[in-house]
Amino acid sequence: MGLFSATETKVETVERDYAPVLIDGERVLIAFKTVRDLVFLTNLRLCTVNVQGLTGRKVEIESIPYRSIVRWSIERAGTFDMDADLVVWLSSTDSPLEVKVAAGANIVAVQQVLARHILGPVR
């Protein structure tokens, strides 16, 4: 996702800006933004927003239902590598979706959202 690390952004702003693509009862739980692109997780899906072209008027929004996620990995930022990595493998693709997340972002919250919505409730 982009050339820059994504930083955490306000879910209220994302919910307002992307209200037309959210369905009734859908809530944005966590969101990360680069200079132009965006990744956000809702209670129903993971969405990527890819702003294209020089003017940024062309926007691709990819919606990935949690049931399509086969596995994921999260690598926290280290001493020399200041970014965290989120990698998500999808059932219908060969290459995973990779997102570089800035060190200050709450990558553990992403792990919690994915686990809760993919693995389901603890029995």
Give me the amino acid identity at 84: A
Tokens of 35: 């200079």
Q: What is the pLDDT of residues 22-71, one digit of tens each?
A: 999 999 999 999 888 999 999 999 999 998 877 778 889 999 999 999 99
Residue 2 and residue 14: Cα distance in Å, rounded? 18
**In this structure, how many other beta carbons lie within 10 angstroms of the beta carbon of residue 38?**
22
pLDDT value of residue 107: 83
- CA-wise closest residue to 70 among 90, 99, 43: 90
Give me the amino acid identity at 79: T
pLDDT value of residue 113: 93
Q: What is the largest CA-CA distance in the chain?
A: 50
Torsion of CA 15, 112, 5, 45, to 10 degrees: -40
pTM of the model: 0.85
